[in-house]
């Protein structure tokens, strides 16, 4: 198990990454729409869908409990969409940095969770 302060920092980072993913999806939606109405619709719908999917399957208090592999798939889809959106917005370096940070965050969280499960057994 990782030290408690690192756990808290990683959990805080995870929350900030989730918020950033929603913001990037809204930004891409606003830019991708052809016309004001479609831009506004996409800017609202894309992060809303991502937030609903996250809340249903990936949140700590998700309504539908998936095994860890399923939760990771959902997180990869949401974060992957945000990284792809950043890249589509011509921010390739930012997309790469974001992808690396997300991967590290998920690895640390998964290792921590696995260690916690092993210690309980």
Q: What is the pLDDT of residue 51?
A: 98
| pLDDT over 90 at 112, yes or no | no
Mean pLDDT lowest among 52-66, 78-92, 106-120: 106-120
Continuous H helices in 58-91: 68-88
- pTM attached to this predicted model: 0.91
pLDDT digits (tens, 9 = 90+) for 45-59: 999 999 999 999 999
CB hemisphere CA count around 13 (13 angstroms): 17
Question: In which band, very low, low, confident or very high, does the pLDDT at 62 lie, cut at 50, 70 and 90?
Answer: very high
Q: Measuring CA to CA, which residue among 58, 96, 92, 60 is closest to residue 78? A: 58
Q: Are 50 and 21 a contacting pair, CB within 8 Å? A: yes
Q: Distance (Å, rounded) from C-alpha 54 to C-alpha 56?
A: 5
């Amino acid at each position: 198990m990782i030290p408690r302060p690192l756990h808290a920092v990683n959990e805080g980072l995870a929350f900030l990454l989730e918020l950033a993913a929603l913001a990037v999806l809204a930004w891409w939606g606003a830019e991708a729409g052809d016309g004001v109405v479609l831009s506004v619709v996409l800017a609202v719908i894309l992060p809303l869908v991502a937030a609903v999917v996250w809340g249903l399957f990936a949140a700590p208090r998700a309504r539908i409990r998936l095994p860890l592999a399923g939760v990771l798939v959902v997180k990869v889809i949401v974060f992957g969409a945000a990284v792809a959106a950043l890249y589509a917005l011509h921010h390739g370096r930012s997309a790469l940095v974001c992808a690396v940070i997300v991967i590290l965050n998920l690895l640390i969280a998964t290792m921590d969770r696995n260690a916690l499960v092993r210690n309980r057994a």
